[in-house]
Amino acid sequence: MEEVRQAVNAYNVRNKVKIRKIKNNRARVHAVCDEGCPWFLKVGTDFKRSGGFVITAYEDETCVREWKLGRARKEALLEIHGNEEAKFSVLRDYGQELKRANPGSTFFLSTNSVKDPTTGIVKEHLATMYWSYDGCKRIFLSGCRPLICIDGCHIKTRYKGVLLTAIGIDPNDCIFPIAMGMVEVECTSAWEWFLTTLRDDLNISNTSCWTIMSDRQKGLINAVQKVFPDAEHRFCVRRMIQNFQKASHRGETLKNDMWAIARSTNIAQWQKNMDKLKVDSEEAYEWVEELQPNTWIKAFFSDFCKCDMLLNNHSEIFNSYILAARENHVLSMLDMLFHKQM
């Protein structure tokens, strides 16, 4: 039956049709085409003779190929947004116009020279891009807490890439975008470049008074330690609990123990919750013991940034908020992000 299903899927792709399996189980498969099309296939068990599976009925006359949605969508997007390759070629002009029309804004772009293996022609490919708006930077530095939430999300266009974001928190505890960057892949070197550019763009010389909030990724931890060596680096507790569960420490009781530890606001309460975790699971207690408490427990947070949040929700919510922009061509994406921030 698995071979029958694979054959039907291959037939779909080869003939650009959409065959539906109206009956599909371990004993039989009954597949048909669209309504009005004579094509059908029936495969069942041959109990009387071989005891295996046989084709009991088959009609191979098929309808006219009408599966053109992919090409139609591509043509529609081309009509709406224009040629994507042409958009990349005017990015430098876009950056110059941004800095002219909005003085104080920052726009950096770098490329790599890549040789086409088929034609041998050397082309410039976008490697990194960073941008921030003057108003966002000024208001963040003058009216927001010294806390930066960083995260990355994938760009969902033909050329892919990763969008890196730096988000602040305004006095009303709402999302406040600071800067964004675009890289080919999310790695330690990409995060080092983004954080270094962000630090220099904000004129941060003393990193000891800043707090960074992020997921607990090894490459990101190393990048923060290098670029913001004296900053307090906090981790999203939800992601830490996911890692905790991946380490085979599962169950609602242990999960609640972790949240209780993270929410502890003084040393006595923290010690009480740690003792409870030890009683519930010695192995889980040892796993938690290896973590640095000032990265995820309220009782050990510095009070300088006036914020004891435990989650990196602001960055994650912002990434979902700009989902439509991440599905557009690069210039359309920049325009949509600009209007969303303004």
For residue 267, the one-letter residue type is: I
Least confident residue range of 81-85, 110-114, 328-332? 81-85
pLDDT in tens, 106-122: 999 998 888 877 778 88
Mean pLDDT of the chain: 87
Instruction: Compare 168 and 318 and report the one with higher pLDDT.
Output: 168
- 198 close to 190: Cβ distance less than 8 angstroms: no
Backbone angles phi, psi at 130, to 5 degrees: -135, 140
Predicted model pTM: 0.74
**Count of residues in the chain:** 342
What strand order describes the sheet that includes 232-235? Answer: 106-115, 122-132, 175-183, 162-169, 147-154, 211-214, 232-235
- From the number of C-beta atoms within 10 Å of its C-beta (0-12, 13-18, 19+), residue 144 rates as middle
C-alpha separations of 133 from 23, 122, 147, 337, 339 in Å: 57, 33, 18, 11, 11
Provide mean pLDDT across the span 135-141.
93
Backbone angles phi, psi at 62, to 5 degrees: -110, 165
Max mean pLDDT among 9-23, 149-163, 257-271, 318-332 falls in 257-271
Distance CA 210, CA 198 (A): 13
pLDDT in tens, 299-328: 999 989 889 999 998 888 888 888 777 777
Structure tokens at 310: 């435990």
pLDDT in tens, 184-226: 998 999 999 999 999 999 999 999 999 999 988 878 999 999 9
Q: 3-state DSSP call for residue 161?
A: coil
Q: 3-state DSSP call for residue 89?
A: helix
For residue 44, the one-letter residue type is: G
